Amino acid sequence: MTSITIKPEILIIDDDRDVGEALEILLSKLGYNSTFFDSVEKGKEYFEKESNPIVFLDIHMPKTSGLDVLPYFKNLIPATQVIMMTGERDINNVVTSLTHKASDFLLKPFSLQTVRIAVQRALDYYTLLKEKEARDENILRDLRLASKIQKKILSVPVISPLEVIVDNTPASFVSGDFYVLSKIGNKVMVLLGDIEDHGVTSGLIGLLMTSIAREAYKESQDPSNVLKRMNLELSQEIGTHSLTAAVAVIDLEKKTICYARGGHPFPVLYQAAGQKLLNEKSGQLLGIMDALEFESHEIPYESGDVLFLYSDGLLNSLSSPLFKELEDVRKKGLSIEDYQEAIRTFSKVSLPTREFRDDSSYLLLKL
């Protein structure tokens, strides 16, 4: 543990000047600087400027109780260690002090040894909290940077003549959901994947999978091959996470969609004739076994149809009211932005709080 080399100033608040000055002398003998106030208000005013790491606070004062003042210091700077002082042996005061997060409880009159132990213990814990605070800040900074990098890498390319809208909302900073949009000749691959769990590790695996998917698509414009290659990499090289994914290859010349799934929620095609679930037989989750096969299925589409891919963080049931809302949008023949707005409205009222939320993503293509 890193120790504080420059001993910090200690604040003393006690209505009894004799006690306060005596404590100042004891602290001076121990090598600490201290400042004493016999007024709570002046002590609080000083604390707001100096942010003292340790406060000695008397319990029994004429106009107020130190027990009532204690939460003020802890709420303002939680790391500050407050040592309560009293001349009475009242167990209720001890319990109340600890409940309000006092670091120690000293009985008057003090001895040099009891003050030394109390201050050293408070300083040790204060240092520990400040080190944790610094570590947490570094972790938070790295997570924010990782989030920015992920968003840059997963940026949406322009794929003419298709209109594309993508949303990837992480549960916390870095998402385990990922997507790929890639065009080769007259064929466009669109992929949406969901790595098991969420966070930095899942996000990194997701970025690796985007690279694998692009390489596989260059070799063969077959969605089954893309899933097969991703599965081999995940099961043989990673071995810790599973993955669900849906891949669709859109042939702009033939106006067909060839698609395959690996344990992923059913894609939906919104056509003039109605809503069509792409729910033919699919393969298992990726990353569980090496030798998995994924069936491809092909369907025709018409210009103006909208393809909708989503993760189970957004929708995990075919009975979700969002499907009806999107069907209403289809019936009205509205724009792809109207589909997006319906999803946004649904998300605001239906998704759980961030504490319990999974990564949520979707992809809309107007064909």
List, in order, residues 6 or more apart from 346 with CB less than 8 Å away. Answer: 321, 322, 325
Q: What CA–CA distance (Å, rounded) separates 261 from 279?
A: 9
Query: What local confidence, expressed as pLDDT, does residue 2 receive?
Result: 46
Q: Which residues in the chain belong to E strands, given as ranges? A: 10-13, 34-37, 54-58, 81-86, 104-107, 163-169, 177-184, 187-195, 243-251, 256-262, 268-271, 274-277, 297-300, 306-310, 360-366
Max mean pLDDT range (152-161, 263-272, 353-362) = 263-272
26-40, 253-267, 351-365 — which is least confidently predicted? 351-365
- Tokens 């939460």 sit on residue: 71
Helix axes 321-332, 336-350, angle to 10 degrees: 160
Cis peptide bond prior to 223, omega within 30° of 0:
no
Distance CA 117, CA 30 (A): 11
What pLDDT digit, counting tens, does each position of 330-349 carry?
988 889 999 999 998 988 87
| Whole-number percent of the chain with pLDDT over 90 | 47
pLDDT of residue 35: 93
Q: What is the DSSP string of 305-348?
A: -EEEEE-TTT---TT-HHHHHHHHHHHHT--HHHHHHHHHHHHH
Nearest Cα to 314, choosing from 280, 285, 348? 348
Residue-level pLDDT at 352: 60
> According to the model, what pLDDT value does residue 59 have?
85
pLDDT band at 4 (very low <50, low <70, confident <90, very high): very low
- When pLDDT is cut at 50, 70 and 90, the band that residue 284 belongs to is confident
- Full strand arrangement of the beta sheet holding 360-366: 163-169, 360-366, 306-310, 268-271, 274-277
pLDDT at 10: 93
pLDDT (tens digit, 9 = 90+) per residue, 123-167? 999 999 889 888 888 888 877 887 788 777 787 888 888 999 998
* CB distance 135 to 318 below 8 Å: no
DSSP 294: -
What confidence tens digit (pLDDT) does each residue in 242-262 have? 899 999 999 999 999 999 999
| Integer angstrom CA distances of residue 349 from 28, 308, 316, 346 | 60, 20, 15, 6
Confidence (pLDDT) at 60: 83
**What letter would DSSP give residue 127?**
H
Determine the average pLDDT of the residues in 347-357.
Answer: 65
Pairwise CA distance, residues 141 & 188, whole Å: 36
pLDDT at res. 151 = 78
d(CA 133, CA 89): 35
**pLDDT for position 8:** 81
**pLDDT for residue 189:** 95
Residue ranges and CATH numbers for the domains of the chain are: 10-138 (3.40.50.2300), 155-366 (3.60.40.10)
Whether pTM > 0.85 for this model: the answer is no
pLDDT at residue number 1: 44
